[in-house]
């Protein structure tokens, strides 16, 4: 048998190996049976049809999946675009940080400019803010005169005896008489809503006249009677409120979220949200909106923050009054007469300042009150119905090196207690906390609670951070000698700025 032969040959071969002999082959070749080749068959027509259906159904499934995916992406395109934009900006911030060694927050603006145009930000901010910006018009009853005929036919020579030797010229002199009164516009300004119930922020010098009527014109052209509810005794700020039981809702742009500022109109008027003026940087883009020249409501101007913490003296040509403004924002955004009280916005549409003054005889030099100094007045009115401010009760001039040299002062910092004789304003207000503590004119207040008074830390800014009833420690220079006084701050009287 073949099997037995194989076994025998194997044993023989193994035996040869064990004995170390190589006398025979290790293995015999085995016969291999080759597979029988089957003839190839072509697929039938039914099989082709089945393959076609599978292909078509697979293609349709892919198309449906792609369509659904595209629909989801399109529906969420805003969120997706925002995500990639933020990632792009993060990359730009990281790159700038590596290149300049500065934080990404400080360089986010250039990165944003690369991704988006400044124009689109401005347009969006203006659309958001415009419905909440208003014009405030002052009207007053003035006498109405009419000309009546000269019934006595009395003729007079208007030249008198100025030209002797010349014949006299006689004319009928017109006569007038008062015939009742008429409403006449005597002033205007700007403002903006800060709450849905119609509370408006504006400047004190816009609404400080007595015996006048105030009318608020909203962006949609509708007018509403208004009344002054509070005047800030320290800052050039006043709060006005729509004086009607059922407000007429201004027009809101399509697509705006009416449940959030600046379009929170579910309970009344659209109002602006407040930003953080402490985070402003020189060179940052800002937008001013207001009633320019009292004729062109919601006029928009764009500029940059030109300077911070400016101290200026603003005057009113109509009344001849002057006021010292501390820590104000300087901007080259055009602030025209009539813009007073309007908002200064950042590119997100938030209020970072209240337009207050412009430099006469200059181009594009305007000033705004930082919104952080106004915020407490708004909150105070909303809680108590009036503005509560801590009050020391002095008028002063900031001491500088030039002032010290000109007046022979022994120090070049502090606040020199000084009145204004031209306007009959005393240096120390009678009955004020300063008066009770014994401060007199020509004293120099050097420090408040250990904080040195200088250009960066003015007396007004330090006092504004205190509270009514708080006891503060003053270091003063009195007749060449240093003294320490304890003063209890009181609430500023409402007529302080009048």
Q: What is the mean pLDDT of residues 338-364?
A: 87
Place of tokens 């503590």: 437
Whether the predicted pLDDT of 30 surpasses 80: no
Whether the predicted pLDDT of 56 surpasses 60: yes
Handedness of CA 428, 429, 434, 437 (dihedral sign): positive
At residue 381, the pLDDT reads: 92
Rounded-to-integer distance, Cα 234 and Cα 263, Å: 31
Say which residue, 271 or 318, is predicted with more confidence.
271
Max mean pLDDT range (158-162, 317-321, 370-374)? 370-374
Band of pLDDT at residue 305, cut at 50, 70 and 90: very high
Say which residue, 148 or 483, is predicted with more confidence.
483
At residue 126, the pLDDT reads: 92
Rounded-to-integer distance, Cα 268 and Cα 217, Å: 15
Whether the predicted pLDDT of 176 surpasses 70: no
At residue 240, the pLDDT reads: 94
Active site residue 205: yes
Q: What is the mean pLDDT of residues 35-44?
A: 54
Rounded-to-integer distance, Cα 325 and Cα 313, Å: 6
Say what percent of the chain tops pLDDT 70.
68
> Which residue among 232, 236, 346, 443 is the active-site one?
236
In a 13 Å sphere around the CA of 490, the CA atoms on its Cβ side amount to 15
Sort strands 223-231 and 471-478 into parallel, antiparallel or unpaired.
Answer: unpaired
Say which residue, 316 or 395, is predicted with more confidence.
395
Band of pLDDT at residue 35, cut at 50, 70 and 90: low
Residue range 233-265, pLDDT digits in tens: 788 899 999 986 544 444 455 555 544 555 444
Active site residue 224: no
Say which residue, 292 or 147, is predicted with more confidence.
292
Whether the predicted pLDDT of 331 surpasses 90: yes
At residue 133, the pLDDT reads: 94
Sorted by sequence, the CB contacts under 8 Å of residue 109 that are 6+ apart come out as: 284, 285
Residues 228 and 149 sit within 8 Å (Cβ to Cβ): no
* Structural domains of the chain in order of their starting residue, each with its CATH number: 52-102 (no CATH), 277-384 (2.40.10.10), 390-491 (2.30.42.10)
Active site residue 190: no
Band of pLDDT at residue 315, cut at 50, 70 and 90: low
Q: At what angle are helices 108-115 and 77-100 packed, to 10 degrees? A: 130
Residue range 181-230, pLDDT digits in tens: 677 777 889 999 999 999 999 998 888 888 888 999 988 888 899 999 98
Residues 319 and 363 sit within 8 Å (Cβ to Cβ): no
Rounded-to-integer distance, Cα 489 and Cα 393, Å: 9
Q: Which of 295, 251, 138 is nearest to 203 (CA)?
A: 138
- Please give the mean pLDDT across all residues of the chain: 77
Residues 474 and 462 sit within 8 Å (Cβ to Cβ): no
> Which residue among 130, 340, 373, 432 is the active-site one?
340
> Which residue among 130, 135, 205, 443 is the active-site one?
205
Band of pLDDT at residue 91, cut at 50, 70 and 90: low
**Whole-prediction pTM:** 0.63
At residue 488, the pLDDT reads: 94
At residue 164, the pLDDT reads: 60
Place of tokens 């300087």: 330
At residue 195, the pLDDT reads: 92
């Amino acid at each position: 048998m073949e099997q037995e032969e194989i076994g025998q040959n194997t044993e023989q071969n193994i035996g040869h190996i064990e004995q170390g002999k190589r006398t025979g082959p290790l293995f015999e070749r085995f016969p291999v049976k080759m597979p029988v080749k089957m003839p190839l068959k072509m697929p039938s027509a039914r099989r082709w049809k089945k393959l076609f259906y599978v292909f078509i159904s697979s293609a349709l499934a892919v198309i449906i999946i792609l369509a659904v995916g595209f629909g989801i992406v399109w529906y969420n395109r805003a969120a997706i675009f925002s995500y990639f934009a933020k990632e792009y900006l993060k990359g730009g911030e990281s790159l700038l940080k590596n290149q300049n060694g500065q934080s990404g927050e400080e360089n986010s603006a250039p990165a944003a400019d690369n991704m988006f145009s400044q124009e689109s930000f401005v347009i969006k901010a203006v659309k958001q803010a415009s419905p909440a910006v208003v014009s405030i018009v002052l009207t007053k009853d003035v006498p109405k005169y009419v000309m009546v005929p000269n019934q006595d036919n009395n003729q007079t020579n208007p030249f008198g005896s100025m030209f002797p030797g010349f014949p006299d010229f006689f004319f009928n002199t017109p006569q007038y008489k008062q015939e009742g009164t008429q409403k006449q516009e005597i002033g205007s300004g700007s403002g903006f809503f800060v709450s849905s119930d119609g509370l408006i922020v504006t400047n004190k010098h816009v609404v400080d006249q007595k015996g006048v009527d105030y009318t608020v014109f909203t962006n949609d052209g509708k007018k509403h009677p208004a009344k002054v509810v509070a005047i800030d005794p320290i800052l050039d700020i006043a709060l006005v409120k729509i004086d009607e039981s059922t407000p007429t809702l201004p027009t809101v742009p399509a697509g705006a979220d009416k449940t959030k500022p600046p379009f929170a109109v579910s309970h009344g008027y659209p109002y602006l949200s407040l930003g953080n003026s402490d985070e402003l940087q020189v060179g940052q883009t800002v937008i001013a909106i207001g009633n320019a020249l009292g004729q062109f409501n919601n006029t928009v101007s764009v500029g940059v923050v030109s300077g911070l913490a400016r101290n200026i003296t603003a005057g009113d040509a109509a009344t001849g009054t002057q006021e010292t403004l501390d820590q104000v924002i300087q901007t080259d955004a055009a602030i025209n007469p009539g813009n007073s009280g309007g908002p200064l916005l950042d590119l997100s549409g938030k209020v970072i300042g209240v337009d207050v003054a412009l430099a006469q005889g200059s181009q594009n030099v305007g000033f705004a009150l930082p919104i952080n100094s106004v915020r407490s007045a708004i909150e105070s009115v909303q809680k108590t119905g009036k503005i509560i401010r801590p009050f020391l009760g002095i008028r002063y001039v900031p001491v500088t090196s030039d002032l010290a040299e000109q007046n022979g002062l022994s120090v070049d910092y502090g606040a020199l207690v000084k009145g204004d004789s031209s306007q009959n304003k005393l240096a120390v207000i009678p009955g004020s906390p300063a008066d009770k503590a014994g401060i007199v004119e020509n004293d120099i207040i050097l420090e408040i609670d250990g904080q040195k008074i200088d250009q960066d830390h003015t007396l007004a800014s330090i006092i504004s951070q205190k509270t009514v009833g708080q006891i503060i420690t003053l270091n003063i220079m009195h007749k060449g000698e240093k003294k320490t006084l304890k003063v209890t701050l009181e609430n500023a009287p409402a007529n302080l700025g009048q």
